[in-house]
Amino acid sequence: MVLSSAECLAQVAEAGLGVIALSHDSSLIEKYNLTRVLPTVEEPPVKMCYVYPKSLRNLITVKIFGTYIKEAFKK
C-alpha cells in the first residue's frame, strides 16, 4: 500500500499498522498521539527555496523577504 497524504499516514500509524516518517515538529505527532520510535536517528535536512517572477527580483520587499528566510532557517 502506498499513501501520499501525511494525514493518512498518521492515521495508519495511530491504528498500529506501520511506522511512518514525519518531521519532528509535525502537528500530526500530537494530533494522533504518535511516539518517536528511533529517537537517536536525526532527520535529514530539507532543502527549501522561494520562487517569484523574474520581473520582481529587484524589488526591495523580495530582497528583504529572501534575507529573512535565509536567517530564519539558518542552523
Domain-embedded: residue 1: no
| Structure confidence by residue, pLDDT tens digits, 18-67 | 999 888 888 999 999 999 888 888 888 778 888 999 999 999 999 999 99
Which single residue is written with the C-alpha cell 535565509? 70
d(CA 21, CA 43) in angstroms, rounded, equals: 9
d(CA 16, CA 41) in angstroms, rounded, equals: 21
pTM of the predicted model as reported, rounded to 2 decimal places: 0.55
Domain-embedded: residue 30: yes
Residues in the chain: 75
Three-state secondary structure along 12-53? HHHCCCCCCCCCCCCHHHHHCCCCCCCCCCCCCCCCCCCCCC
User: Structurally, how many domains does the chain consist of?
Assistant: 1
Domain-embedded: residue 28: yes
**Residue 31: which domain range?**
6-72
